Amino acid sequence: MSADMSYRPNYNNQLTIILLLLASHT
């Protein structure tokens, strides 16, 4: 349970970084 909670935010953070990179690249 603790690992799942730690993994979810990490995945969300990666998506945000990717979106920021894409926005910066455009």
Residues 19, 26, 21, 23, CA torsion sign:
negative
- The length of the chain, given as a count of residues: 26
Say which residue the tokens 């969300």 belong to.
12
- 1-26 pLDDT per residue, tens: 566 666 666 777 888 999 999 999 77
Say which residue the tokens 């690249």 belong to.
25
Q: How much is the pLDDT for 18?
A: 92
Q: How much is the pLDDT for 2?
A: 63
Q: How much is the pLDDT for 11?
A: 74
Q: How much is the pLDDT for 20?
A: 92
Question: Residue 19 is which amino acid?
Answer: L
Q: How much is the pLDDT for 7?
A: 65
Q: In whole angstroms, what is the distance from residue 20 CA to residue 26 CA?
A: 10
Determine if the pTM surpasses 0.85. no
